[in-house]
Amino acid sequence: MSARADEIFEQHFEDIHLPDLAGRIGERLRGSGVVTLDGLKARAQVLDLVRMLMTILPQCDSDPDGLTVIRDTGRHAGQVGFAGFGNGEILPHTERSGVARPPRLMLLACARPADTGGECVLVDGQAVHADLAAHNREALDALSARRSAFFGGGDGHLGSVFSEVGNGRVALRFRQDALARFSPEASPHVSTLRAAIERHRGELRLASGEAFLIDNHRWLHARRAFTGLRRLHRALGIPLPAVALPPGFEAKGRKACAA
Ligand SMILES: [Fe+2]
From 243, 250, 103, select the one nearest 162 (Cα to Cα): 250
Q: What is the dihedral of CA 215, 54, 15, 197, to 10 degrees?
A: -10
Separation of CA 199 and ligand 1 centre (Å)? 20
Rounded percentage of the chain residues whose pLDDT exceeds 70: 95
- pLDDT tens string 190-217: 999 999 999 999 999 999 999 999 999 9
Separation of CA 185 and ligand 1 centre (Å)? 27
**pTM for this model (two decimals):** 0.93
- pLDDT tens string 176-191: 999 999 999 999 999 9
Of these ranges, 3-12, 79-88, 89-98, the one predicted with the greatest mean pLDDT is 89-98
Q: Which helix (H) or strand (E) holds 227?
A: strand 226-227
Q: In degrees, to the nearest 5, what angle opens at C-alpha 73 toward C-alphas 72 and 74?
A: 95
Is the pLDDT assigned to residue 258 strictly greater than 70? no
Separation of CA 19 and ligand 1 centre (Å)? 30
- pLDDT tens string 227-241: 999 999 999 999 999
Supply the DSSP string of 119-169, one letter for each residue: -EEEEEHHHHHHHHHHH-HHHHHHHHSTT-EEESSTT-EEE-SEEEEETTE
Separation of CA 94 and ligand 1 centre (Å)? 6
Rounded percentage of the chain residues whose pLDDT exceeds 90: 87
- pLDDT tens string 133-147: 999 999 999 999 999
Separation of CA 83 and ligand 1 centre (Å)? 9
pLDDT at 148: 98
pLDDT at 254: 57
Separation of CA 240 and ligand 1 centre (Å)? 22
Collapse the DSSP code of 111 into the 3-class scheme (helix H, G, I; strand E, B; otherwise coil) and give the result.
strand
* DSSP state for residue 65 in the 8-state scheme: T
Is the pLDDT assigned to residue 5 strictly greater than 70? no
Separation of CA 95 and ligand 1 centre (Å)? 5
Separation of CA 171 and ligand 1 centre (Å)? 17
Separation of CA 221 and ligand 1 centre (Å)? 6
Half-sphere exposure of 47 (CA within 13 A, CB side): 12
Q: In degrees, to the nearest 5, what angle opens at C-alpha 116 toward C-alphas 111 and 120?
A: 60
Average per-residue pLDDT for the chain: 93
Separation of CA 144 and ligand 1 centre (Å)? 22
Separation of CA 151 and ligand 1 centre (Å)? 14
Separation of CA 106 and ligand 1 centre (Å)? 9
Is the pLDDT assigned to residue 16 strictly greater than 90? yes
Separation of CA 84 and ligand 1 centre (Å)? 7
pLDDT at 24: 98
Is the pLDDT assigned to residue 257 strictly greater than 60? no
Query: Domain 3-241 in CATH: superfamily?
Result: Clavaminate synthase-like (3.60.130.10)
pLDDT at 256: 45
- 139/189 Cα distance (integer angstroms): 5
Average pLDDT over residues 41-60: 96
